[in-house]
């Protein structure tokens, strides 16, 4: 081999073949990787059919309500709660029979619709009284038979503590039984009533026998 041939062949790496050294070719560049595509979301599972689970179609948007149509309010929304139906009693306070709202008197016992209702949580009492005889509150079983049993152990309530009266016009009054006043006192909305004087009751008042003994919520129902 000549010197020129040896110099030309020295510029490339050589490998040996059966008949001598041959130039080694450069390897081909590797192809660039293809970008990965995002996987398609799987359709929601629907009823199974012959071909497997079927996708559930999305519901169509609801059509707008025509003008003037009533709006649906879900349960629990304040707008769906019924409003008050009136404060008038549905049953007679005396005989508990249903009342005819068009009649001023009970058809069963003849009692007027006018009455006062005293509600107590402890002890649990519900006392209704209409015009006429007073409602006596105390521990004396002969003088106050409707409250004596419930007040037996409450020694801070007087035996003859107070009376409640109702007039035909729907007004109600409270007065201490003794002219000199009850030893345990009577309170209306936190203020002690004046002994010997009738004090008017109003719907929503709080009547207490003793300051921290027994309390009544007052409800008044007039003739209408």
Sign of CA dihedral 92, 95, 100, 104: negative
The tens digit of pLDDT for each residue in 45-102 reads 555 555 555 555 666 665 554 444 333 333 333 333 223 334 567 788 878 888 888 8
Q: Is the pTM of this model over 0.85?
A: no
All structural domains of the chain, each given as residue ranges with its CATH number in brackets, are 115-221 (2.60.200.20)
Which range, 41-45, 82-86, 104-108, 154-158, is most confident? 154-158
Q: Do 191 and 177 form a contact (C-beta atoms < 8 A)?
A: no
Residue 76 backbone dihedrals phi, psi, to 5 degrees: 90, -15
Query: Tokens representing 1?
Result: 């081999």
138-150: average pLDDT: 95
Ranking 38-42, 166-170, 214-218 by mean pLDDT, the lowest is 38-42
């Amino acid at each position: 081999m000549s010197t020129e041939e040896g110099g030309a062949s020295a510029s490339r790496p050589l490998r040996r073949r059966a008949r001598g050294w041959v130039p080694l070719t450069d390897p081909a560049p590797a192809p660039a990787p293809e970008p990965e595509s995002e996987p398609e979301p799987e359709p929601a599972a629907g009823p199974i059919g012959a071909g497997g689970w079927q996708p559930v179609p999305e519901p169509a948007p609801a059509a707008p309500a025509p003008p003037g149509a009533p709006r649906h309010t879900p349960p629990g929304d304040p707008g769906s709660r019924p409003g008050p139906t009136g404060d008038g009693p549905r049953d007679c306070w005396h005989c508990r029979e249903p009342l005819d709202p068009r009649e001023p008197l009970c058809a069963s016992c003849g009692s007027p619709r006018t009455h006062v209702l005293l509600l107590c949580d402890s002890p649990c009492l519900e006392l209704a009284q209409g015009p006429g005889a007073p409602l006596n509150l105390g521990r004396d079983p002969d003088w106050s038979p409707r409250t004596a049993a419930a007040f037996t152990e409450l020694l801070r309530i007087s035996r003859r503590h107070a009376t409640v009266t109702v007039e035909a016009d729907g007004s109600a009054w409270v007065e201490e039984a003794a002219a000199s006043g009850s030893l345990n006192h009577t309170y209306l909305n936190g203020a002690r009533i004046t002994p010997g004087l009738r004090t008017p009751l109003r719907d929503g008042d709080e009547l207490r026998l003793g300051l921290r003994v027994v309390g009544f919520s007052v409800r008044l129902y007039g003739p209408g």
